[in-house]
Amino acid sequence: MYLLEISRKGRWPVNGAELLMELLLEQGVDRIFGYPGAAVLHIYDALLTYGGHIRHVTTAHEQGACHAADGGARLTGKTGVVLATSGPGATNLVTGIAAAYMDSSPLVAITGGVRTGLIGRDSFQEVYIAGITMPITKHNFVVRHVDELPDVIRAAFRIAAEGRPGPVLVDIPKDISIADVQAPAVRQSAAPQHPKSRAKIDQAALNQAAQYINQAKRPAIYFGGGANLSGAGDALRALCAKARSPAAHSLMAAGVLRCDDPYNLGLLGMHGKASANQAAQKADALLIVGARLSDRVVTDPNMFAPQAAKIQIDIDPAEINKNLPADISIIGDARQVLTELLPLVEEKNRQEWLDKIAAWRALDWTPEDDDSALRPHQILRAAGDLAGEGAVYVTDVGQHQLWAAQYARHVRPRSFITSGGLGAMGFGYGAAIGAAMSAPGRPIVHITGDGSFHMNLNEASTAVSYNIPVITLIFNNRVLGMVRQWQTACCAGRRSETELARATDYLKLAEGFGLPAFRCHALAGFKIAFEQALHIGGPCWIECIIDKEEQVYGGF
């Protein structure tokens, strides 16, 4: 696509803001989340001209805008775009950028800056946002001349999408957005696509990995968010079946294998299943695919899978041997590596190992049903039954997040969206809005707790203004459940500031926002409310009253 509006109008010069719009169109951008302000005044003015091509969604807060851009990116794989003004507008993006960085989500954050002549003078709403975000972006740019814009924007989208995805920040001083651009400054450009590179995989490492797996009596696989991002599900499933190897996953990889797949052991680690942790600990070969191996899984590197030859696959060389020494490492895209590894793996009948796994699975803790109350596992299973396999689950952070990881019906990749690495409590509502706008027709279920919800319920105004069909399930136990649970375990039962004195009436609050809401105390009422919510066609809330003593149980 050549510069669309400029070529259509046949006029020069244009200003930097109009050029920015053209460059965004060139990159295939059709939606921006953001919030206007003085330093981006002319960028927003240009949006009026380009409104037929680029839709802008004004959120209640810049952090919500960033999470929304991120949520859409996680669901589709397409780079999200967020726009904010200088100073507090830019700093309000920081949590959202960090969340995207920690979970490898492709994002381009565009901020306005003070005029170049005012930089360094403590000008009104001046912050050095490039410096602030340097540790939480793949790269960032400060545009110093309007002629740099084409190269900078194209590079930003390329960097955000290539290799291990992540956020890139572009800071555009106000005078750059106003400056005239002459035709010779703008070079071509057909709309670039960013295909995953098919880099050459180390054949010797592949052969060695296959040898370890073929010689193993007790192989196991641990897969993480990299398997999700690369679309490695089919190759992973084929490898499990051929090697007769069980597999467990990280929080970020729910849905890569169906939750009911016989080879899928479920969540590994602190909040995972005992059988999954047993399989990893007793394995003699462990294939690690696109996983961070964070402290929530590897609490002690010397004690994790001590009997296993460890084979690590990751697209990011920095992850190799970072948290756990690997016997063999393979750098590359997870789907590509697994596809090339599969023919080298021999079919084996490891029935004794699978029987042992089955015996462990039979002993996994299972919560008891109680239809007269609302129990977290029953809420999530009922929601899954009613919403169907097309549902997308988006969570905030806390007990509800882990219950959702454990009990929601994860049957499709990129359908469980959560802040895994950063653990940002205010992530959910914005991310759900972004996901809903990227997947019209699919049920979007926003799962939150009363603690997290107080951090982002302002985005209800966004959902209502744009009539975005997000169903919000509020797990209300009137405590900060996860922190309270840890206080109980680690502080001799003493609890500090986790018993909430809030008396928020969510039904009245919803009425003020202009959306329907339900309050449920038992499972039958929840099912009725959820069925109605599916047919509302806009945002709604379902408050689920649960007992504050409900716990997240793990497998350690």
Please identify every residue annotated as catalytic.
62, 124-125, 174, 482
For residue 23, the one-letter residue type is L
| Cβ count within 10 A of residue 362 | 9
| Cβ count within 10 A of residue 390 | 12
Three-class secondary structure of residue 264 per DSSP: strand
CA 45 to chain centre: 31
Cα distance between residue 482 and residue 152, in whole Å: 42
Torsion of CA 329, 332, 338, 341, to 10 degrees: -60
Cα distance between residue 20 and residue 146, in whole Å: 10
Enter the tokens of residue 275: 């059988």
Closest CA to 483 of 413, 425, 408: 425
Backbone torsion region of residue 426, taken as left when φ is above 0, otherwise alpha when ψ lies between -120 and 50, otherwise beta: alpha
In 272-431, where do the E strands start and end?
285-289, 309-314, 328-331, 392-395, 416-417
Q: Which residues contact 267 (CB under 8 A, 6 or more apart)?
A: 248, 249, 250, 251, 254, 273, 276, 405, 406, 555
Closest CA to 483 of 494, 499, 493, 498: 498
CB-CB contact of 247 with 280 (8 Å): no
For residue 60, the one-letter residue type is A
CB-CB contact of 473 with 506 (8 Å): no
DSSP class per residue in 461-487: HHHHHTT--EEEEEEE-SB-HHHHHHH
368 to 37, 220, 373, 450, 550: CA distances (angstroms): 52, 30, 11, 23, 12
